[in-house]
Amino acid sequence: MVRVLPVELRGAVVRRRGRAILGPVDLTLAGEGLTCVLGPNGAGKTTLLRVMHGIERLSGGTVGYGLPEREALRRQGFVFQAPIVLRRTVAENLAYPLRLAGAGRADAARACADWGGRIGLGAVLDQPAQRLSGGEKQMLALGRALISGPDLLFLDEPCASLDGRATAAIEGLLRAARESRTRIIMATHDLAQARRLADEVIFLRNGQVERHCAAEAFFAAPQSAAEEAFLKGDILQ
């Protein structure tokens, strides 16, 4: 069992300019596997991830973990839709979380060599990360998030602007991470990707969790007109 879990939201609300963009949300995430957060544009998917990760300030309610908050946050990772890379070499980017955690140079170097190979960047470890393509930068961001073996990993549309080859590579890494018992929570607009990867689904609309269930049940038996329309690809207001 992943120690940082469960993640529990109770009456969680985020307001901006006096308008609630999320919530109130009551939600518990436990167990293992990969959860896909689905919903139309503007549903609150990114905000929900940020709340669960502890980087979004709540206007009301609470978020809690299976560990004290400081320790829980240390055992998490987050990969953003637009990859963030440091103005350093590929190896230094990969080593960054390990060095923050106190790893020695030799141990960090071994881990970087290993993960450089896993993400297909082993031949460019000494090159500036800024020179990488968009897909390579996203692979680097994912490798940097996974290198320290997080209990919990959040991803916000990580394949939104990538081609099929890069998407397949990232999905392969996510499957391997899931097998290693990293709990994954990912927002995606790609229903085919959700069908390939998800063990469970959170369906968001207008800042509200309308359904939280096993992926198989969500795709096989929509329980509302909104779910049915969403699965058909219709535009939801």
pLDDT digits (tens, 9 = 90+) for 5-52: 999 999 999 999 989 999 899 999 999 999 999 999 999 999 999 999
Give me Rg for the CA atoms of the chain. 18
Domain boundaries, the chain: 7-85+132-232, 86-131
Q: Which residues of 48-87 are buried (b: 16+ CB within 10 A; e: fewer)?
A: bbbbbbbebebbebebebbeeeeebebbbbbbbeebebee
> For the domain with range 7-85+132-232, which CATH number is right: 3.40.50.10610, 3.40.50.300, 3.40.50.970, 3.30.70.580?
3.40.50.300
From the list 139, 187, 169, 222, the residue with the least C-alpha distance to 34 is 187
Mean per-residue pLDDT for 160-181? 90
Q: How confident is the model at residue 218 (pLDDT cuts 50, 70, 90)?
A: very high
Residue type, 180: S
Q: What is the pLDDT of residue 203?
A: 97
Q: What is the pLDDT of residue 104?
A: 84
Q: What is the pLDDT of residue 12?
A: 97
Q: What is the pLDDT of residue 18?
A: 86
pLDDT digits (tens, 9 = 90+) for 190-210: 999 999 999 999 999 999 999
**pTM for this model (two decimals):** 0.93
From the list 38, 133, 123, the residue with the least C-alpha distance to 85 is 133
pLDDT digits (tens, 9 = 90+) for 79-135: 998 888 889 999 999 999 998 888 888 888 999 999 999 999 999 999 999 999 988
Q: How confident is the model at residue 55 (pLDDT cuts 50, 70, 90)?
A: very high
Q: What is the pLDDT of residue 237?
A: 64
